Amino acid sequence: MSLIPTQAPTEGATYAKNTVPPTILSTQVAITALLYVYGDNAPLITASYFPDFSNVVTIDFGDIYKSVLNSELPDNGDEVVLQYTYRIKFRLLLSDANSNNTEIDFWVCNALLKSATAFETWAQANFLTNQPLEKTTNYESPEWLTYLDLAEKGNRIVIGRFYPKEGGMVDCIVKDDEGAGCFSVNVNYSRLIPMVARLPHQLKGYYDIILTDGELNEICRQRYIYEERSGREKYFLFVNALGGIDTLICKGENVLAPDITHNIGRFGRQYRALDDTDDIRKWTQHIGQVPNRQRNWIYELLTAKQGAEKYDPETMKYLEIVVDSSELSMSDFGQLAGSPFSYILNETENVVADTERPDRSLHQSVADQAEELHDDTRQVVLDFADDGNGGYETEDAEITATKLYVEFDDSIADARTIPVYYYLGDSSTAAGSFTPGTDASPVVITKAASESIRFASQSNALGSLAVSYYPTTVIID
């Protein structure tokens, strides 16, 4: 015989986690209940229940559903995320000591809904979000919308609709279902605008995302209002209470406030820093001023606790984070409100990624702020004098440096084609030469620190040479 509950989930129905009705039986004997993921052989839970004083058994597996259901956040490069574990089919097997039994198959979704409408009906008429119906966005912001398609072969079409300034509308197909399921779709401006047969300057500054059925009948829509970036925006993705993905654009200050512990140890006569602590890089993000009518939506995001990501627009990567505290305090007086929340990366390794380097390019405006370089050089001026043989030379200079920088006036026309020779130590053979009209000032000469140097030329047009050097205590190789 079959057990007939006085209340139970409807065969084949779809529920939110909090709308699955408890199973209630009137009985005088113990009841055994087994809950399976449909198709699995091993039950998620096996439990025995005994009737209360009214001969009633109540069975509720709400916590078990939560442990199995999940919504995935997008990974780098994703445009559509098929939420495999958003909607799961369960089988409930009931039996009693008299060999009576029954089984019920039903679906549960990763959603919490408080509505007079059944979740199955509500989900077929709405996006899975409580975000503002008219939401501001910009070129960088990742915008995601999630919807549930219960049609066996899939019949939902996501349309992006833009509005030309001269009137009318232009559409593009963003997503066309091929089967049933829960889908999260990237609908941000930068992805959609290349799909439209218009240039941006021809369009009004907003666009709609419309969910339709297979006959292009509108089911619901979301509007995005374009707003130019200020450069302060930070982008955070949250799994909301309905199991969809929402983007929160924060324009407030982002503060790095890590938890750092320093331990030291003594080794002999010296102290050393010990790397034996868990330092946590933690940020506090101020949401910035938002319309106070959004406070319930922001509260939902921060309390859903189902997953969050931070989006880096420069690298176009999603970084998984954990929100560890929030200070939501938004009044209903006035038009704007703001609150902070704190988060950490989900990685336990305390390493700064190369993508976190604040500047990835050089700026001339920064270089123009540079001051004169500090000069550690010393200088000796050597004058040319008649050598008595029709030429000119300087005296021997004892300079204890290995590298000399010889400066001269290369604008003197009479000296531009006449080479200058230099001699090291007692050698009567030139070690090298340079020509003022060919070689740029300064000419660099290397030698041993103990070697002296002198210069000779067939012309006295230069008059003198300035020899600069770094003292031997600041040797530059």
Residue 137 near residue 227, CB atoms below 8 Å: yes
More confident residue, 360 or 126: 126
Give the pLDDT of residue 97. 83
| pLDDT score of 259 | 78
- Backbone angles phi and psi of 102, in degrees to 5: -160, 160
Average pLDDT, the chain: 90
- Do the beta carbons of residue 311 and residue 139 sit within 8 Å? no
Biggest CA pair distance of the chain: 134
Looking at residue 353, its pLDDT comes to 59
What's CA 221's distance to the chain center, in Å? 28
Chain segment 127-174, per-residue pLDDT in tens: 999 999 999 999 999 999 999 999 877 889 999 999 999 999 999 999
- Give the mean pLDDT of 209-228: 94
**What is the tens place of the pLDDT at every residue in 34-67?**
999 999 999 999 999 999 999 999 999 989 999 9
pLDDT, average across residues 275-287:
81
Q: Rounded to an integer, what distance in angstroms lies between the CA atom of residue 205 and that of residue 198?
A: 13
CA 399 from chain centre, in angstroms, equals 58
pLDDT tens per residue, range 97-109: 888 899 999 999 9
- Scanning the structure block, which residue is given the tokens 């039903």? 106
Cα separation values, 44 from 37, 245, 275, 306, 460, Å: 7, 28, 43, 21, 101
pLDDT in the model for residue 476: 44
More confident residue, 265 or 472: 265
Average pLDDT over residues 371-385: 92
Q: What is the pLDDT of residue 2?
A: 72
At residue 474, the pLDDT reads 41
Among the listed residues 16, 182, 46, 38, the one whose alpha carbon sits nearest the alpha carbon of residue 105: 38
- The answer, yes or no, to whether residue 407 has pLDDT greater than 70, is yes
The percentage of residues in the chain with a pLDDT greater than 70, rounded to a whole number, is 95
- pLDDT at position 356: 59
What pLDDT shows up at residue 326?
Answer: 86
Distance (Å) of CA 276 to CA 264, 272, 338, 351, 378: 9, 12, 38, 15, 49
Higher pLDDT, 18 or 178: 18
